[in-house]
Amino acid sequence: MQLLVITIDKCEEFLDTLAGLKAHGMNGIVFQSTSLKHALLHSTVDAAPIFGSLSKVMNNDFESSHTAFLLLNDDQIEHAKRVVRRNTNGLGRKGVMFTIPIISYEGIEE
């Protein structure tokens, strides 16, 4: 089992990707997100020393995107990646996709 994490900058491509994954029976959760670079460079909040920069992220004065988290069986991962690549014409600089091995989990059952 693996956790597939996907962030795509272009909203339409992200939604098309989610629809493609859902059509193949894959489910997950979506969170609003933004890159650190975008949050820090486009914030209107004055820079604060050391950890105070987190206040810039909390203010939400920057454009957001979304990140999807899908818990998938190992045999679903490559198919899910193909769906992402197909809907984005290759991620390139549009976003990021990675997997994390999951040793155990509890909760939602099929």
- Kindly report the CA angle at 34 between 33 and 36, in degrees rounded to 5? 130
Residue 81's pLDDT is what? 96
Contacts with 101 (C-beta within 8 Å, 6 or more apart), sequence order: 1, 2, 3
Judge whether residue 43 has pLDDT over 90: no
- Chain-wide mean pLDDT for the chain? 80
Candidate CATH numbers 3.30.420.40, 3.40.50.620, 3.30.70.120, 3.40.640.10; the one for domain 2-37+65-101: 3.30.70.120
Looking at residue 96, the DSSP 8-state letter turns out to be: E
pTM of the model: 0.73
More confident residue, 76 or 94: 76
CA distance 25 to 92: 26
What are the residue boundaries of the structural domains of the chain, listed by start? 2-37+65-101
Largest interatomic CA distance in the chain: 48
Residue 94's pLDDT is what? 79
